[in-house]
Amino acid sequence: MAGVLAAGLSATLTGARSFAAIAQWSAEIDPDLLGQLGLTRSPSEATFRRIITAADADDLDALLGAYFHTRIANSGRRRVIAIDGKTVRGARTHTGTGATAPHLVAALDHQAGAMLG
Q: What is the pLDDT of residue 65?
A: 78
Pick the closest to residue 115 from 65, 41, 59 (CA basis).
65
At residue 38, does pLDDT exceed 80?
yes
Q: Which of 52-56, 63-67, 72-76, 104-108 has the lowest mean pLDDT?
A: 72-76
Secondary element (H or E) of residue 107: strand 103-109
- Please indicate, yes or no, if residue 61 is contained in any of the structural domains: no
Q: Looking at the structure, do residues 8 and 42 belong to the same domain, yes or no?
A: yes
Tell me the average pLDDT across 21-35: 95
Q: Which residue has the higher pLDDT, 86 or 44?
A: 44
* 110 falls within a domain: yes
Mean pLDDT, to the nearest integer, of 38-63?
A: 92
Neighbouring residues of 69: CB distance < 8 A, sequence distance ≥ 6: none
My answer on whether 47 and 11 are in the same domain is yes
Give 72-110 pLDDT, tens digit per residue: 666 676 767 778 888 777 665 555 566 677 777 888 776
The strand pairing partners of 86, in sequence order, are 104
Quick check: 81 and 68 in contact, CB under 8 A? Answer: no
Q: Residue 34 falls within a domain, yes or no?
A: yes
Domain of residue 17, residue span = 2-55
Task: Say yes or no: 46 and 82 in one domain.
Answer: no
Residue 64 inside a domain? The answer is: no
Contact (Cβ atoms closer than 8 angstroms) between residue 103 and residue 86 = yes
Reduced to 3 states (helix: H, G, I; strand: E, B; else coil), residue 40 is coil
The mean per-residue pLDDT over the stretch 55-63 comes to: 86
Region 30-49: what's the mean pLDDT?
Answer: 94
Position 109 in a domain: yes
Q: What Rg, from alpha-carbon coordinates, does the chain have? A: 18
